Amino acid sequence: MFNYWMSFMDVFTKAFPLKNVPRTMLATTYKDDDLWRMIQAAKKNPKTKEMGDKLETEILKQFVFAEKKPSEMAKLLQVSEKTDANWKMWEKYMKDYHRYHLREISS
């Protein structure tokens, strides 16, 4: 069922790129930091790594749509300088955040 939902959401977001739809029920059930820790734990297990990678991508998109500020994401990702492990992920998030919200403002 989970795979079906994720496939449906992939098609939906391509058809309606500006719609803000929760991509996972996990995001409505858990606090952001708890959810992030669960996803990171899933990525460490070879049996759940692929699902963890997919969930990480999806939750980052959801955070962009939910207007989670880059400063909040820096705290969640524990990023404070370029040498931190999640720096590139935070940098990409920041670019995606600004791209999405600047496009929304100009529409």
Provide the residue ranges of all domains of the chain, joining segments of one domain with +.
Answer: 25-106
Of 9-13, 64-68, 97-101, the least confident: 9-13
**Report field, pTM of the whole predicted structure over 0.75:** no
**pLDDT tens, residue by residue, 67-94:** 889 999 999 999 999 999 999 999 999 9
Q: Decide: 49 and 56 in contact? Cβ < 8 Å.
A: no
Structure tokens at 97: 């955040």
Instruction: Report the distance separating Cα 67 and Cα 53, nearest Å.
Output: 21
pLDDT class of 55 with cuts at 50, 70, 90: confident
Q: For the residues 5-13, what does the mean pLDDT come to?
A: 68
Per DSSP, the residues of 5-26 read: HHHHHHHHHHH-TT----S-TH
**pLDDT tens, residue by residue, 19-43:** 655 556 677 778 889 989 988 998 9
